[in-house]
Amino acid sequence: MTTTAQPYQFRNAPTQLQPLQEMLDPITLDDLTRLGITDGQHAMDVGAGAGSIARRLCELVGRTGKVIAVDLDTTLLAPTAVLDVYQRDLRTDPLPTEAGTLDVVTARCVLEHLPNRQRLLEQMLAALRPGGHLVLGEIVYARTIVPHAPTAGDTELIVVVVHAILDVLAERGADLRWGEKTPAILLDAGLEQVRTRWVAQSWTGGSPGCRLYADNARQLREQLLKADLTPGDLDRFGELMANPTVVVRGYEFACTTARKPR
């Protein structure tokens, strides 16, 4: 199928997905635990990446359950007796599931990147059975704060680079306000128990969050150089993200759960 929409900005490198999982899994897994998922249930993770959420869903639904993992790039996803893996470009392809069949649908750091996010969310809601749960997580735009860095110049550089990364994502079609809009969209769609946590934490050089910043800057290097940053700036940013004396307020995430009415 031909795709005309902007391609996804990142490669699914373990250097990106590993720190993302280390940072966000405690929040998402806590959400999943609270839903009361039981043996034999059916779940789907949309944009499953390196698969930590899909694997946790497999544990929760047990041997008699079924989990579907869908992604454009499935190289980091291994199917099992419980886990089915589907390669799909969700800008154009439908979800590989029947309407009204799933107990849980998750998508973390996916919808904000996709131009058809609203339509895809509608498909995800349609896939849920009455009483089924939705678990979402999105990066949202937030001001960068640097409580500690070696010099004032380093502080300024970190702020400039992180905002340039966010600008590149937005220019390439990401909606960094999407996570703020989802609670209203879900309520309008009739969902119940809509609950959002906005999570931002301090990240220290070398921590998963700073490794994620460093990887994002590496992957978007070409675009960042076009945004008036120099190779020296980006090299220094990489050093700072590994420096344990650096403290920065990390990306903010909006994590929303909701239930389809019974």
Ligand X SMILES: C[S@@+](CC[C@H](N)C(=O)[O-])C[C@H]1O[C@@H](n2cnc3c(N)ncnc32)[C@H](O)[C@@H]1O
Instruction: Pick the stretch among 43-51, 195-203, 207-215, 239-247 that binds ligand X (CB under 6 A).
Output: 43-51
Kindly report each contact of residues 27-30 with a partner whose C-beta sits within 8 Å and lies 24 or more positions away, as own/partner.
27/137, 27/197, 27/199, 27/253, 27/255, 28/53, 28/106, 28/108, 28/135, 28/137, 28/255, 29/53, 29/56
Q: Is 68 in the site for ligand X (CB under 6 A)?
A: no
Among 19, 47, 65, 250, binds ligand X (CB under 6 A): 47
Q: Is 251 in the site for ligand X (CB under 6 A)?
A: no
What CA dihedral angle connects 260, 184, 213 and 169, to 10 degrees?
110
Among 19, 32, 44, 49, binds ligand X (CB under 6 A): 49
| Residue 113 CB neighbour total at 10 angstroms | 21
Please say which residue, 136 or 146, places its beta carbon nearer to ligand X: 136
Q: Is 89 in the site for ligand X (CB under 6 A)?
A: yes
For ligand X, the binding residues in 12-31 under the rule CB under 6 A are 12, 17, 20-21
Please say which residue, 115 or 183, places its beta carbon nearer to ligand X: 115
Structure tokens at 203: 């990240």
Q: Name the packing angle between helices 14-34 and 208-219 (round to 10°).
A: 130
Structure tokens at 112: 């904000």
Sort residue 21 into left (φ over 0), alpha (ψ -120 to 50) or beta.
alpha
Which one-letter amino acid corresponds to residue 199? V
Please say which residue, 102 or 157, places its beta carbon nearer to ligand X: 102
Q: Is 164 in the site for ligand X (CB under 6 A)?
A: no
Q: Is 109 in the site for ligand X (CB under 6 A)?
A: yes
Among 22, 73, 180, 233, binds ligand X (CB under 6 A): 73
Please say which residue, 29 or 148, places its beta carbon nearer to ligand X: 29
Tell me the residue nearest to ligand X as measured from the CB.
Answer: 49
Please say which residue, 139 or 157, places its beta carbon nearer to ligand X: 139
Please say which residue, 91 or 133, places its beta carbon nearer to ligand X: 91
What CA dihedral angle connects 225, 231, 234 and 240, to 10 degrees?
-170
Tally the residues of the chain: 262
Residues that bind ligand X (CB under 6 A): 8, 12, 17, 20-21, 47-49, 71-73, 88-91, 108-110, 113-114
